[in-house]
Amino acid sequence: MAHSHAHPPTGAAASATRVFAITTLLNLAYTVLEAGYGFHTNSLALLSDALHNLGDVLGLGLAWGAAALARRHPTGQHTYGWRRATLLSPLANAVLLMVFSGALGWEAVRRFSAPPGIPAVPVMVVAAIGIAVNLFGAWLCRDGHSHDLNKRGAFLHLLADAAVSLAAVLAGLGMWAFGWSWLDPATALLVGVVIAVGTLGLLRESFNAAMDAVPAGIDQAEVNAFLAALPGVQAVHHLHVWSLGAGEIALTAHLVRPREQNDDAFLDSTVEALEQRFGINHPTLQIERGSDCSHDRHDAAPHHD
């Protein structure tokens, strides 16, 4: 049997935790400021943005906590450590976004019948600050978000917040220039719909990851064909591919090979090829002999870790 894995560098994990800490605290401070001005001016655009930002603060806090948990070492009870926290966090993140976007839409529809008068200039100023805060946070989360679902959830959250703040600025501009008070609830409704639609992808992907689905970008049939075409391999079965956490993809498979084959060199080259070709960095391969293989008895090659 061969087993190989590569943990994310300790420095990278510490950096991710630091990024989530900075963005969480920065967004929390801005949310308090925005909510205060929203209540003071009775602006739904600001209050909806603040409500959404509060959801994002909770989501970023989850991502922060997940990144910190992922650094914990494996134990006798948690043999993989706590790395799967980085898969559960974006799922909770996506659910929060959907709930808050629904709340925004409901309040916006309710206000259409009698939109209150809103002082436009404070709305624009506070919302403009929000654009800067959220774009800065997204910039901090940009590294690794393409393959780290936890970072991607935070990254999308922050970009969505920047879009909400931009919409609030435009609404304030319209109210200031033309007196269109209906822009306040209309903007909140539009932003709520856009956020809900944009969150569906994250919700689907994070749910699949939590359910041990094959990670996006990996074709299990292609992996199976690759293993079956390796020298001496007569059959492949019990093939499973799933995500362990941020940047870690696991694989288990049973490979049938003749008894006289050199398993050590074969396993080493296969483990390296799986990482280079598919990004699978935590494979476990078990060798079965073509002459006497069964699901209940296996001859295993020496263990490599």
CATH of the domain at 36: 1.20.1510.10
Provide the number of structural domains found in the chain.
2
User: Is residue 296 assigned to a domain?
Assistant: no
CATH of the domain at 240: 3.30.70.1350
Contact by Cβ (8 Å): 257, 287: yes
User: Is residue 23 assigned to a domain?
Assistant: yes
Considering the domain architecture, whether residues 266 and 240 belong to the same structural domain is answered as yes
Residue 65 has a CB neighbour count (10 Å cut-off) of 16
User: Is residue 299 assigned to a domain?
Assistant: no
The residue segments making up the domain with residue 172 are 2-210
User: Is residue 294 assigned to a domain?
Assistant: no
Considering the domain architecture, whether residues 153 and 231 belong to the same structural domain is answered as no
Q: Summarize the confidence of residues 170-197 as an average pLDDT.
A: 82
If residue 123 lies in a helix (H) or strand (E), which one and from where to where?
helix 120-140
Q: Summarize the confidence of residues 227-238 as an average pLDDT.
A: 93
> Rounded to the nearest 5 degrees, what angle is found at the Cα of 71, between the Cα atoms of 145 and 159?
25
Considering the domain architecture, whether residues 119 and 240 belong to the same structural domain is answered as no
> CA dist 90 to 25, 50, 97, 113, 121, Å?
18, 20, 10, 36, 35
Considering the domain architecture, whether residues 93 and 198 belong to the same structural domain is answered as yes
Choose one of 192, 210, 228: the last residue of a domain: 210
* Per-position b or e across 240-265, b if 16+ CB within 10 A of its CB: ebbbbbbbbbbbbbbbbbeeebebee
Q: Which of 259, 258, 252, 264 is nearest to 232 (CA)?
A: 258
User: Is residue 305 assigned to a domain?
Assistant: no
pLDDT of residue 247: 67
Residues 6 or more apart from 119 whose CB is under 8 A from it?
41, 43
Contact by Cβ (8 Å): 132, 166: no
Tens digit of each residue's pLDDT (9 = 90 or more) over 28-71? 888 888 888 888 877 777 777 777 677 677 766 766 676 676 67
Cα of 97 vs its chain's centroid, Å = 13
Between 7-16, 193-202, 271-280, the lowest mean confidence (pLDDT) is in: 7-16
Say what the pTM is.
0.58
User: Is residue 192 assigned to a domain?
Assistant: yes
Percent of the chain with pLDDT over 90: 16
